[in-house]
Structure 1
Amino acid sequence: MSKRVTVLMGGFSTERAVSLNSGAAAGEALRQAGYAVTLLDVDRDVAAFIAALTQTRPDVVFNALHGRFGEDGAIQGILDIMALPYTHSGRLASAIAMDKPSAKLVFERFAIPVAPHIIADRASVLAETAMARPYVVKPLDEGSSVGVTIVTDETNDLPFSRDDWPYGRQVMVERFIPGRELTVGVLGDKALGVTEIVTDHRFYDYDAKYAQGGSRHIVPAPVPPEVFARAQELSVLAHQALGCRGVSRADLRFDGETLYMLEVNTQPGMTDTSLVPEQALHAGISFPDLVTWLVETAQCDA
């Protein structure tokens, strides 16, 4: 009998549309691989979600959710309580990786370079007393560059007014690192490769990530061999330091001298043209084989 896999997708975060794409693509690839697949759009009604999930009787849950409540340990905790094996990282690693201040503390503890940063309230950002330009303002716990703004000497734009910031009372203010955008997928404890992301946008923002023609992915990244190797080394170290499992994707900036770790995504995009599947294919792993590996190595912390 085919193993039953329930794919969690959609949800109610700011990344719902991206998750729907990931879930549909992963589900189709899993069907091609011979699994009995059910797609489940996750509702905020926890009782209804548990009832719907129970009805599908999964052997494994494929987590294709992105953003808050799907990537931050919340859904992982429910699955742990239900003793259902699931793909990607567990609840603690997911929670730490999603919370940018916590993740940076871990990176610093393991000597992984990060950009200088502080946690500031909105008033100090509006007064421009938090950090001298250029800097980046980020929500503490959002993904896909949601809410990210770069403030430079060339712009007078601030990331919000006093009342229009929906992402919490505090923000991360981080020194802007000029240079090249690199990303590394990690599968298990092995780096898949290094991709350089090139975009005409001011930075790799939400539209650059998901709009048609918003960016180009260069695989493998045309960087010196020592930079390539160091990017992979730092990404595997970050994956391990956070306690990730399954697959993750590390985003880095290279200023010509130093590689800086920006963040680790524990639920990277899962369409066949997403960054990690692109790297996997370049390494000889097809998309159906990639999602199969994730299902066959799924576990929970029950």
Structure 2
Amino acid sequence: MTHVLILAGGLSHERDVSLRSGRRVADVLAKVDVEAHVADADGSLLERLAQTEPDVVWPVLHGASGEDGAIRDVLGSLGFRYVGSTPESCRLTWDKPVAKTLVQRAGVRTPRGVALPHDTFRELGAGAVLDAISSSLTLPLVVKPARGGSALGLSVVHNAAQLPAAMVDAYAYGDIALLESFVEGTEVAVTVLEGEEGAPVALPAVEIVPDGGVYTYAARYTAGETEFFTPARLADEVSRAVAHAAITAYRALGHRHLSRIDLIVDPAGVPWFLEGNVAPGMTETSLVPMAVAASGREAGAVYHQLLTRALVDSER
């Protein structure tokens, strides 16, 4: 393998995080003698692809530009191999209500929720809709955009008076809001990798304890805002249940090579699926590098293995 092109940046709200992720991946690959260059997903990308003809493309684009499958559709149509899930898998995962349904059908619990388009919210009357939701979903609630990442637009609603503002925040990042029952428990993130033979392997879960109680955008990307425990402080049997739930979700959503599965473990030790991430953050404060380190693996060796998987895999 002589040339890897890392796609980072884009035009989403998560552009800065994506750029940090791209630089971090390139730095790690350089340590294992892999030539990697970072390119933005802009109007010059197709020309650059044609000129450089990279062996593998690694999209670390966050938000719609990198997680809705569109960029990967283009890469596939041009014949480029790339790290990560297929376009179909990306689309299923990007739509959180759809992902919840698929994972629940596979046997993993997920919080009860309602997906509410902005048009419906407006046409039926905000007050009447919020009253109906408040009566059917028990407070507290989690309100977030149905498509998006990095907790942008996410709020935890403890009383009905907070709900209108939470809806406004969610709609600022998309035209569909997802309202879910809040599950009390331990928040964990599980990185799932494909091993040399292609079977998914769950790395040690990372336990997330944000200072403010909610894992917001600032808590994710500001050093010192959140405390992490790797591996998570879970009983052995609960850790096994978490790993099983993560791999089940990975397979249900058709993920490939690498993804991160976010879960809540309730007081009874039962894992609940929150969402999947086909392009997880790879920055110095991101969860995937933490999980890799906790597993005893070297990041460079893991990333090199992912590139190898991309080289030998055809789309599936």
How high is the TM-score relative to the length of structure 1? 0.92
* Alignment-derived partner of residue 33 in structure 2: 34
Q: 1:154 offset after TM fit, Å?
A: 8.7
Which residue is 1:192 aligned to? 203
The one of 240, 250, 259 aligned to 1:229: 240
- How many pairs are equivalent? 298
| Correspondences of 1:104-119 after superposition (within 5 Å) | 104-119=100-115
Matched, 1:24 2:27: no
Paired residue for 1:62, among 58, 82, 103? Answer: 58
Amino acid at match of 1:34: D
In structure 2, the residue matched to 1:218 is 229
Shift of 1:300: 5.2
Q: Which moved more, 1:97-106 or 1:118-127?
A: 118-127
Change (3 A) 1:161 1:147: closer
- Measured in 2, the distance between the counterparts of 1:65 and 1:125 equals 36
The 8 Å contact of residues 10 and 42 in structure 1, kept in 2 or not, is answered as: yes
Would the aligned equivalents of 1:107 and 1:238 in 2 still touch at CA under 8 Å? yes
Per the TM alignment, residue 171 of structure 1 is displaced from its structure 2 partner at its CA by: 1.1
Offset at 1:56? 2.2
Structure 2 unaligned spans of 5+: 195-199
Q: Given the alignment, which residue of 68, 71, 76 partners 1:72?
A: 68
Q: 1:150 corresponds to which residue?
A: 156
In 1, the alpha carbon distance for the partners of 2:76 and 2:100 equals 26
Deviation (angstroms), 1:99 = 0.7
Which has the larger helix fraction?
A: 2
- In structure 2, the residue matched to 1:180 is 186
Matched residue, 2:299: 287
What are structure 1's unaligned runs of at least 5 residues?
Answer: none
CA RMSD across the alignment: 2.1
Residue number among 138, 141, 146 corresponding to 1:135 in the alignment = 141
The 2-side partners of 1:59 and 1:121 are apart by: 41
CA deviation string 1:118-163 (max 9, x = no partner): 1124437942232342111111110111111111139636335769
Change (3 A) 1:165 1:30: same
- The residue that corresponds to 1:301 in the other structure is 315
Cα distance change of structure 1 residues 126 and 279 upon mapping to structure 2, 3 Å threshold: same
Q: Alpha-carbon deviation of 1:199?
A: 1.0
Residue 205 of structure 1: which of 216, 225, 231 is its match?
Answer: 216
Q: Matched residue of 1:30: which SS?
A: helix
User: Identical aligned pairs, as a percentage?
Assistant: 33
